Amino acid sequence: MTLTISVLTYRHGLRLYRWNRDNRRADQNAQDLTDVDAYLRQAQQKLCELAQTPSSVDDFAPLRPLRHLISNSADQSADQLHAISGKLREVVQRFDSYLATELTAPGVGDQRLQLRRAMQQEYARTQLQAVITKAQQTSRTLRRV
């Protein structure tokens, strides 16, 4: 009789431990997804501010920290972030290609070259915005699950 009660108490305690562990993990994943969504939203806002305007190194300064935060989030191995890490890595790659299109000071160099680079920059910005939108959709979907 005592052995049966001990085994049942042990099993109940083990079940409670697993339940607490799973809830704690789900809470951490939800917080991580909220953080990632905030980073993506900030990046989207900054990109909207830079829309259709040639940008130089100084204009890209607020984007660099966001790129690093998103990169760090992509490297995390949390359960739900693992599902979105591929999208985040693609966002980081697009960020790198967009940040590589910075323009030199106006009036320096050929105007056609400056115009071509500005058009490449705008194309890279729209590609980055598209990837960010896809990552935000994935994040929203994972938060509903």
Question: pLDDT for 16-63, tens place per residue?
Answer: 888 888 777 776 767 778 888 899 999 999 999 988 888 888 888 899
Q: What is the pTM of this model?
A: 0.75
pLDDT score of 107: 60
- Supply the pLDDT for residue 79: 57
- Integer angstrom CA distances of residue 23 from 16, 18, 42: 11, 9, 29
Which pLDDT does position 126 carry in this prediction? 94
Give the pLDDT confidence score for residue 95 in this predicted structure: 92
pLDDT in tens, 52-75: 888 888 888 899 999 998 988 888
- Rounded mean pLDDT, 79-99: 86
The pLDDT assigned to 94 comes to 94
What is the band of 108 on the pLDDT scale with cuts at 50, 70, 90? Answer: low
How confident is the prediction for the chain on average, in pLDDT? 84
Percent of the chain topping pLDDT 70: 91
| Per-residue model confidence as pLDDT tens digits over 69-83 | 898 888 875 556 777
